[in-house]
Amino acid sequence: MKQKMPDAGQSMRQRLMEAAREEFVEKGFEAATTRKIAERAGCNEVSLFRHFESKQKLLTAVVQETSEEFRGLCGCQGKHSGNLLEDLETFARVYNNSFEKCEGMARTMIGESRRRPLLTKELIGDVIEPFHQSLARYLQTYQDKGLIRNDLNPMAFAEIFTSALMGGALRRTSGLSALDREVWIRDTVRIFVQGITVSGS
């Protein structure tokens, strides 16, 4: 893979974090070396250790930055249409687009989950909690109106829904699914809506 030239406008710390993110995604944490990360950033290892002390602390900084980026991308703000199918598709697209932008680090941390469970939990779990809560609150309004099943657990729905979307994104980018993004999102939303709506609503 052709190596990108460092951006002279970035701070050294930011250049190191960007270089580390690329190296971790390409090689995984164990195979990534501080020497290669420093080369990508256009500096030496002394500069890397001055900023981050160790490869582990550099990984922690990259995960935290990616978490903040994902949280910002995944905010589902604004008014809803009032149409369950349309609104859940909006939620699905917001989540899918956010996940795709952070997919490389998400894959890296899935691979590191046994060795670094707390960092993995931050990037794959904790960061999505506000999105889950937003989706659950939306579903609660439909329960209150009697339009979706009373036995539905909105938070469970939110977690299962985003898990299906994440699984779809991982399968598509791994070449394991014949379904494209649009079909996956559309059909996932329709299947979920059919499962939760009250008959005749």
Q: What is the CATH number of the domain that holds 102?
A: 1.10.357
- Is the model's pLDDT at 1 over the cut of 50? no
pLDDT top residue among 5 and 156: 156
Mean pLDDT of the chain: 88
3-class DSSP assignment, residue 113: coil
- Is the model's pLDDT at 198 over the cut of 90? no
Residues 35 and 92 in one domain: no
Q: How many residues does the chain have?
A: 201
Task: Give the contacts of 129 (CB within 8 A, at least 6 positions apart).
Answer: none
pLDDT at residue 125, rounded to an integer:
79
Residue 6 located in a structural domain: no
CATH of the domain at 22: 1.10.10.60
Q: How far apart are CA 48 and CA 113, in angstroms?
A: 25
Please report the DSSP string for 11-64 in residue order: -HHHHHHHHHHHHHHHHHHHH--HHHHHHHHTS-HHHHHHHHSSHHHHHHHHHH
Domain that holds residue 131: 63-196
Residues 74 and 45 in one domain: no
pLDDT at residue 2, rounded to an integer:
47
Task: Give the contacts of 36 (CB within 8 A, at least 6 positions apart).
Answer: 23
